[in-house]
Amino acid sequence: MLKIPREQGRLANTPLCPKCRRELDAFSVFEAGSRPEPGDLTVCLYCSALLEFDSSMALITATAESIAGIADLTELQAATHFAHEFQQLRKKEQQLDQ
Ligand SMILES: [Zn+2]
């Protein structure tokens, strides 16, 4: 069964996705009450890039070492799934606007 993010919020900063260069200022987490921290992995909502928060909470492309250390692949799968759903919704909205 697909995991569902438990909580959402705004990041204190507005990091750029290193792949698509969009600003990412919000987050969803699977664990209630938690917030992203340095070293956490995340998925870009716009381009599905697998990213990592560095020590200053900027976003970098996730390292192979970090990816290899993922304990719960269902969370990564769910995050990627929600990013794809968001992209589909955005595409539909853009088509309706034209
Ligand atoms: Zn991106």
pLDDT in tens, 8-33: 999 999 999 999 999 999 998 888 88
Residues with C-beta atoms within 5 A of ion ligand 1: 17, 19-20, 44, 46-47, 49
Q: What is the pLDDT of residue 98?
A: 84
Torsion of CA 57, 81, 74, 61, to 10 degrees: -30
- Grouping H, G, I as helix, E, B as strand and the rest as coil, residue 29 is strand
- Grouping H, G, I as helix, E, B as strand and the rest as coil, residue 92 is helix
- pLDDT per position as a tens digit, 60-70: 999 999 989 88
User: Mean pLDDT, to the nearest integer, of 40-51?
Assistant: 95
Q: What is the pLDDT of residue 58?
A: 97
Give the distance (Å) from ligand 1 centre to CA of residue 23: 8
**For residue 77, what are its two tokens?**
């799968």
Measured between alpha carbons, how far is residue 66 from residues 33, 38, 63, 86 in Å?
Answer: 23, 12, 5, 25
Q: What is the pLDDT of residue 13?
A: 94
Q: Which CATH entry fits the domain spanning 7-97: 2.20.28.160, 3.40.50.300, 3.40.50.150, 3.90.550.10?
A: 2.20.28.160
pLDDT at 1 over 80: no
pTM above 0.75, yes or no: yes
Give the distance (Å) from ligand 1 centre to CA of residue 65: 20
Give the distance (Å) from ligand 1 centre to CA of residue 72: 22
pLDDT, greater one: 60 or 4: 60
